[in-house]
Structure 1
Amino acid sequence: MKTIAVIGTNKAFNGYLFKILDLMKVDLNTFNRYMVKKENNYNYIVVNSNTNIKNIFINGKYCLINMDLADYKNSNIDVFGNIITYGLGNKNTVTVSSIDDKDSFVYCLQRTLFCDDRILEPLEIPVKMKFTNEDELYAAMTGITISLIEGKDANNLYIR
């Protein structure tokens, strides 16, 4: 089974992330920051914030990092793997646009991702998904990205 280490998140983020992964039928064994072992290699590492997190050294195949919620210049987090940044800024690998009243948005993969057996080209996917706050929006970006890497079809994603 593939693994995901989730670091620096909160309940709203976690719940929504795993709701999306479940709907997309992505099965991952989950580890939180208290269970992460630095000697392990994880398929996915998600760093949603570095607040109150000290001295983490971790290896992963894909490392998804929220660039909006963290100050990585002053952190003690070292992650190694294929870095995928996400957030609301246009310089991130993954971002969103056309946010409509917490009811829909456009998921934007800004750069090419090289996966095991294929290449994901930049794309935009309209998503009908109700979300209540930014945590859920960040979780959606992360869940959709992992789903795409896992070869799932996220076109016309509809979550209520």
Structure 2
Amino acid sequence: MARSSRSSSSTWRYINPAYYLKRPKRLALLFIVFVFGTLVVWDRQTLVREHEEELSKLNEEVTRLQNKLGEVKDVKSVTSQAKTSGKSNNAKRKSNVSDDPIDIERREKVKDAMIHAWSSYEKYAWGHDELQPQTKNGVDSFGGLGATLIDSLDTLYIMGLDEQFQRARE
């Protein structure tokens, strides 16, 4: 019987604060375990909360996109009805699509950048494969085929840079 009372008291001794006051290393270990346990639980709750917030944002975005899709389908059904009735809607399309001033400005900046790059290529590396911008030398890294010249033909044509396109083509 003495043995059973001893075993029951040994399990309860870990609950007694005096046990840890006599053993500071175990107190420190208990404190560290408590802190890490708290951080794990807290971090888990934070992750769950952030996940729920992100899900709600995504659900709102899905709803908004579904509404836009419905509007687009309505517009397409109206235009298909107009086609069947024999009306020309080329003018309608052009009037519905208006260029944003910011888009126009962006296009001009891209065009200016292309003109800058092309004029530097013409000036410093005409006929070579590449222009080394720091040394301003032409390099034939593709066997002297004029890779930049060939590669930029379509870009010049699409951008409407006809003068540069004609010089490159010749």
Q: TM-score range by the shorter chain?
A: under 0.3
Higher helix share: 2
User: What's the TM-score, normalizing by structure 2?
Assistant: 0.17
Higher strand share: 1
Q: Which is greater in Rg?
A: 2
